[in-house]
């Protein structure tokens, strides 16, 4: 296990290095950041001075080495727009995104897994077909349309929920959260529901497919013959063995939700990473975009590593090498 962990850590470092090269090249060939930091009526001498201060007069290799050194030291530069360290801006918005994703992924798992088990164990019932039809809607409907319809119906017409914002927050040390206030929950439910629908539908369909496969296995028939209760057979024997593909999808969806909650956060004016990214792209705020992309890369490699470890816990027959 130790050897496998070291091997995966080295792979993760290699992947992150490749990502740093790609991100650097992408940022180097998309616009000139000098014109973001100088007045519009600057002279040629002032432009040249700004280019020298930013290090843009050096060769591409030298710029990359400076960029890489900054990453290793946690220095991604200062935002051209907010005039603050880009990493601080990202860390400031991260709790808002984490909490909306946490509520969305828990909501998706709590709803989708029991429904998937039921639909997989009873595929011919009308209720199972209704569940699968509803899941197809969850996959097909675009999240921006779902969000706008929820705002129109539940916020504007019936005034049950607020249409935007994060609500009241409390500080837990360096972490600020709205999950400990009633107003925070009132604000988070609509965006979290919007964010969770697609994931909910995918997990439901994967759970159903896994359960249908598992229900034909001999050990399920043996459990029935031994007199194991139906609930024990489904959740104790069936679900555990059907969870391997579900865990894979769950991990990928978790990364997707954190990285690409952009549309939902924009629709609900949720002050998280997604909205910051949209604003940064619109204003060509390169340092913030770089931190965001590197953070997304770190999230995906860490989540995939954890998923591989969880495999061995769910099914001891799987060994890590």
State pTM to two decimals: 0.80
Task: Tell me the C-alpha distance between 115 and 112, whole Å.
Answer: 5
pLDDT at 318: 61
Which residue, chain included where needed, has tokens 């992924």? Answer: 105
In a domain, 37, yes or no: no
- In this structure, is residue 221 part of a structural domain? yes
| Within a domain: 249 | yes
Q: What is the DSSP string of 215-274?
A: TTSHHHHHHHHTT--HHIIIIIIIHHHHHHHHHHHHHHHHHHHHHS-HHHHHHTT--SHH
Burial category of 16 from C-beta neighbours within 10 Å (exposed 0-12, middle 13-18, buried 19 and up): middle
In angstroms, the CA 315 to CA 247 distance is 12
Rounded to a whole number of angstroms, the distance between the first and last alpha carbons of the chain is 8
The candidate with the shortest Cα–Cα distance to 100, out of 188, 229, 228, is 188
Taking a C-beta distance cutoff of 8 angstroms, is the pair 274, 263 a contact?
Answer: yes
Question: Is residue 72 a part of any domain in this protein?
Answer: no
In a domain, 117, yes or no: yes
Find the length of the chain.
Answer: 321
Helix (H, G, I), strand (E, B) or coil at 48: helix
Task: Give phi and psi for 303, each to the nearest 5.
Answer: -65, -40
- Give me the pLDDT at residue 320, please: 55
Asked whether residue 76 is assigned to any structural domain, the reply reads no
**CA dihedral sign of residues 293, 173, 263, 200:** positive
- Domains held by the chain: number: 1
For residue 143, give its domain range.
Answer: 86-283
Question: What is the per-residue pLDDT for 192?
Answer: 93
State the pLDDT at residue 316.
Answer: 66
pLDDT at 193: 93
151 belongs to a structural domain? yes
- Cα–Cα distance measured from residue 297 to residue 131, given in angstroms and rounded to the nearest whole number: 35
- With the C-alpha atoms ordered 175, 176, 182, 187, is the resulting torsion angle positive or negative? negative
**Within-domain flag for 177:** yes
Under 8 Å between Cβ of 76 and 70: yes
Per-residue pLDDT of the chain (321 residues), as tens digits, is 677 778 878 888 898 889 888 888 887 776 677 776 777 777 888 888 877 877 777 888 888 888 888 888 888 888 878 888 888 888 888 888 889 999 999 999 999 999 999 998 888 899 999 999 888 888 888 888 999 999 999 999 998 999 888 888 888 777 788 888 889 899 999 999 999 998 899 999 999 998 888 888 888 888 888 888 888 888 887 887 788 778 878 777 787 787 778 888 888 888 888 878 888 887 778 888 888 888 888 888 888 888 877 777 776 666 655
Q: Measure the CA–CA gap between 206 and 251, rounded to whole angstroms.
A: 13
Q: What is the DSSP string of 262-273?
A: HHHHHHTT--SH
Q: Which helix (H) or strand (E) holds 288?
A: helix 286-314
Bridge partners of 175? 172
Strand partners, 85: 78
| CATH number for the domain harbouring residue 193 | 1.10.3720.10
At residue 154, the pLDDT reads: 92
């Amino acid at each position: 296990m130790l050897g496998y962990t070291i091997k995966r850590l080295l792979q993760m470092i290699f992947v992150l290095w490749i990502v740093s090269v790609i991100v650097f090249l992408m940022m180097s060939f998309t616009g000139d950041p000098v014109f973001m930091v100088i007045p519009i009526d600057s002279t040629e001498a002032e432009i040249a001075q700004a280019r020298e201060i930013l290090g843009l007069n050096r060769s591409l290799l030298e710029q990359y080495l400076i960029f890489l050194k900054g990453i290793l030291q946690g220095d991604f530069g200062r935002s051209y727009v907010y005039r603050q360290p880009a990493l601080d801006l990202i860390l400031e918005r991260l709790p808002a995104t984490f909490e909306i994703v946490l509520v969305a992924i828990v909501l998706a798992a709590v709803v989708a897994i029991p429904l998937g088990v039921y639909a997989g164990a009873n595929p011919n019932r009308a209720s199972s077909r209704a569940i699968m039809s509803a899941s197809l809607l969850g996959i097909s409907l675009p999240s921006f349309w779902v969000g706008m319809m929820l705002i129109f119906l539940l916020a504007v017409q019936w005034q049950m929920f607020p249409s935007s914002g994060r609500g009241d927050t409390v500080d837990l040390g360096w972490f600020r959260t709205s999950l400990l206030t009633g107003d925070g929950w009132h604000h988070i439910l609509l965006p979290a529901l919007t964010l969770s629908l697609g994931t909910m539908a995918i997990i439901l369909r994967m759970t159903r497919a896994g359960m249908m496969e598992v229900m034909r296995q001999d050990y399920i028939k043996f459990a029935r013959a031994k007199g194991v209760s139906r609930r024990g057979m489904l959740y104790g024997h069936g679900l555990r063995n059907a969870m391997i593909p579900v865990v894979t999808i769950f991990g990928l969806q978790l990364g997707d939700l954190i990285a690409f909650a952009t549309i939902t956060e924009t629709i609900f004016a949720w002050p998280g990473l997604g909205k910051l990214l949209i604003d940064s792209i619109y204003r060509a705020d390169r340092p913030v975009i770089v931190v965001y992309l590197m953070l997304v890369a770190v999230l995906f490699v860490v989540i995939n590593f954890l998923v591989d470890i969880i495999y061995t816990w769910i099914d001891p027959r799987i060994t890590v090498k």
